[in-house]
Amino acid sequence: MNISNQHRRKIAICGAGIAGVSAGFYLSRILPDVDITLIDKNQPVSLTSSKSGENFRDYWPHQSMTSLSHRSIELMQDLQDEFGEAAFALEFSGYHFISHKTEPIFTNENSTAFRKHNLVDQDAFSIHESHPYLDPDISKSVFIKNAGHVDSITMANLMLADAKKRGLHCLQKEIINLSQTSQGYAVQCHDKSIIEADQIIICAGPFINHLAKMLDLSFPVWNTIQRKFIIPDLEQVIPRDMPFTIYVDGQTLVWSEEERNLVQASKELKWMAEPFPGAIHIKPESGDRIKLGWAFSSEEVSPSWTIGTFDYFPQVVLKGASRFIPGLKQYEEDVPAPLIEYGGHYTRTKENWPLIGPTDLDNVYVIGALAGFGTMTACAAGELCARYIAQESLPDYAAYFHPGRYADPQMQLVLDSLTIDGQL
């Protein structure tokens, strides 16, 4: 063993999704003299992080989430400046929120500050003129400018390659136990190897509580499964330059009387007759294809490594989407092939804010509960965790995401005052 390495601090990052990769990257920059090991059962960014729609935006109902996303977008831009524009795609193509109603979509949308950065239109005629693919009765359009699409897998691989140059070490192993030792912590892997560490970061995505439990910790999170699918747009319903478009209205799907009777009489299908939340989203994909998603599932599940398909998901989403893009109706009965369908977990807290920072156990940190915003906030989340570990000054938003916030009376007041659950 190299004597000069004997006293180097060792940090083990448990999980190499986008959160673990980002933590490793920023730690390797802030603390270049620390030994960092990034451990994952699989290839980096291959679980939830590979299922992301890769959309980003800095508009959120609460300022803390806006600040976290804003910082993350800044960091992604910094990475592009550093690695070059061609290194990974970061497109500011916007988010287009639409509604059949004229009520505000965002509480502050009439403020001068909001209108300075975003575009609001509530003249159905002019909306239809500039977006002829939309239903002519769409009466509200809000275009968020600081938003778009990032090739997050390429970005994560760049961050990883860069951190490796500074000594970050990657191991492909399953962690089967974490324990405290007289010197620090021991990470025990499936092949019986043990990695010793002074500090641990739990970044295990949907499995954060599996790892937490090994240390007698528990995080107030749960998992749901959310899905997307991609189909060819055979009839070119969606313009290739359409921004990421989100229909905010909740709805009950439109069925013929015969269909409705059938659906309601079936135990397996009757969910299709229930009211659905808003936020169906759609965007053009490469190769004349379109990608659609609708995070309507609220069923709590135990995390799993593989996720099967869900009967009728594409048909239900296309039916819901044809409410605001009528041209999609033709795909509902005869879904164009090839259909690519996939899903992953949203791991979330009650208020849908992430957990980033120190836990109840000394030298154990967490980045988790990144739900449907982990791609867009990963850089800022990794940076924030690295700043905690390096004992550097923290940004204002840190307190809102501190894992111990539920025991802080002041933060509890903030949490109690929230009126919406923050689901995307």
Note the residues at the interface with ligand FAD (CB under 6 A).
Answer: 15-20, 39-42, 46-49, 51-56, 174-175, 203-207, 226-228, 343-344, 346, 368, 370-376
Q: Which of 94, 148, 141 is nearest to 122 (CA)?
A: 141
Query: Measured from the CB of residue 127, what is the shortest distance to ligand FAD in angstroms?
Result: 24
* Closest C-alpha among 105, 140, 143, 109 to residue 126: 140
Q: In terms of CB distance, is 261 or 298 closer to ligand FAD? A: 298
- Please, which residue, 40 or 233, has the CB nearer to ligand FAD? 40
**Which tokens belong to 129?**
């003129």
Residue 376 beta carbon to ligand FAD: minimum distance, rounded to whole angstroms: 4
Q: Amino acid letter at 371?
A: A
Preceding omega of 338 cis (within 30 degrees of 0): yes
Q: How far is CA 234 from the centre of its chain?
A: 29
Which residue number, 164 or 329, has a Cβ lying nearer to ligand FAD?
164
Alpha carbon separation from 138 to 62, 242, 255, 328, 404 (Å, rounded): 26, 16, 21, 16, 43
Task: List the structure tokens of 40.
Answer: 């994952």
**Could you give the CA distance from residue 368 to residue 349 in angstroms, rounded to a whole number?**
9
Minimal distance in Å, beta carbon 238 to ligand FAD?
17
Return the number of the residue (263 or 355) whose C-beta is nearest ligand FAD.
355
Q: Which is nearer to ligand FAD, 53 or 127 (CB)?
A: 53
Question: In 328-412, at which residue ranges do the beta strands (DSSP E only) sit?
Answer: 340-348, 355-358, 364-368
- Looking at beta carbons only, is 205 or 284 nearer to ligand FAD? 205
Q: How far is the CB of 255 from ligand FAD (least distance, A)?
A: 26
Q: Which is nearer to ligand FAD, 131 or 227 (CB)?
A: 227
Of residues 118 and 223, the one with the C-beta less far from ligand FAD: 223
User: Measured from the CB of residue 308, what is the shortest distance to ligand FAD in angstroms?
Assistant: 14
Nearest distance from residue 353's CB to ligand FAD, in Å? 13
Smallest distance, ligand FAD to C-beta of residue 66, A: 14
Q: Considering the complex, what minimum distance in angstroms separates the CB of residue 41 from ligand FAD?
A: 4
Measured over the CA atoms of residue 26, residue 80, residue 206 and residue 393, the dihedral's sign is: positive
Spell out a b/e string for 290-311, using b for 16 or more CB atoms within 10 Å of the CB, else e.
Answer: bbbbbbbbeeeeebeeebeeee
109: Cα separation from own chain's centroid: 24
